[in-house]
Amino acid sequence: MRYFIENDDLKVEIDSFGAEVKSVLNKHTYREYMWYGNKKYWGRTSPVLFPFVGSLTDKRFIWQGYEYPMGQHGFARDNEFKKISQTEDEIWFSLQSDLKTLSVYPFPFDLRIGYKLEEGSKHLKVFWEVFNPGDQTMYFSIGAHPAFLVPTTGKDGSMEGNYLEFEGVEEIHYHGNDRKTGLSLEEDLILKLEDGRVKISKDFFDRSTYMVEGKQTGSVSILDAKGQAFVKVSFDAPLFAIWSPEEKNAPFLCIEPWYGRCDSVGFEGELQERPFTNVLKARETFLAGYEIEFM
């Protein structure tokens, strides 16, 4: 079911399936900021990644000696959430563990996702709450995957000629991923910036995802060809990714704050040994989130 929240500037549409933002519309200019999910490029808009971010070795994880199957980015994005509260400018959803989830992920949980529009601004705040109602420590990852429409300037309808801006840094160190498995490669790569910016070329996303670790920056903006920002994502996550479909010249890109990431090539450890895994003790709550400003 679709739900709406709004303020004087923005109208936001959220689908209870996956608790996924489907549209953010500027009420004054009628500009749509979110990708519309054309399956020619990518059929989603802003999925929530839980209880895993990215791909796992052989599409499974190991816990207490047992193997559990798990697809890329977990299962929350493919489940119906329950709406638990709503006002004009704020809404909350919940997904709780059941027999189906416990068969592939042996931890009870209550995942709550909230969206709130700031009064008198074009800011959308996203809240994540993960509660562990069980008796044992829980291990999980959570992440965002919002896809933003980018002005098409290339002759082929691509986003070539626009910019990405990384606040407060002169270069970005990142890891790519193996195209076949989706697993993280160990090589440390460097994205050179000029005044904190990089121009998006036709082949900018052809090689792989840009996975950035170590809190190198706290915000990433998309700028048009004239250097004017129109989307800014701010976060305190330990890592983030920048992605658009490889070799498709798609008219959108994703800025993804992550608390967790895919396995590295060659990783064979157990769940609790995965890099960036969050540890949540019994009957405790994990709180995180991020913010998007729409210009």
SS (H, E, C) 131-144: ECCCCCCEEECEEE
Number of domains in the chain: 1
C-alpha to C-alpha distances, 59 to 3, 67, 73, 210, 283, nearest whole angstrom? 33, 10, 10, 21, 29
CA distance 262 to 136: 24
How many CB atoms lie under 10 A from the CB of residue 225? 15
User: Which of 215, 261, 156, 205 has the alpha carbon at shortest distance from 42?
Assistant: 205
Q: Are 173 and 190 in contact (CB under 8 A)?
A: yes
How high is the mean pLDDT in each 10-residue block of the chain (295 residues)? 97 98 97 94 96 96 96 97 98 98 98 94 97 98 97 73 95 92 91 95 87 96 94 98 90 96 94 96 98 97
CATH number at residue 266: 2.70.98.10
Please give the pLDDT value at position 160. Answer: 86
Q: Are 18 and 115 in contact (CB under 8 A)?
A: no
79: DSSP letter: S
How far does Cα 165 stand from its chain's mean position? 18
Range of the domain at 80: 2-294
Please give the pLDDT value at position 154. Answer: 60
CA distance 176 to 210: 6
Q: Which residues contact 170 (CB under 8 A, 6 or more apart)?
A: 193, 196
Please give the pLDDT value at position 155. Answer: 64
CA distance 144 to 12: 17
CA distance 152 to 41: 15
CA distance 282 to 233: 32
Please give the pLDDT value at position 89. Answer: 97
Q: Are 110 and 128 in contact (CB under 8 A)?
A: no
CA distance 146 to 129: 18
Name beta bridge partners: 3.
14
Q: Which residues contact 179 (CB under 8 A, 6 or more apart)?
A: 208, 246
Name beta bridge partners: 138.
280
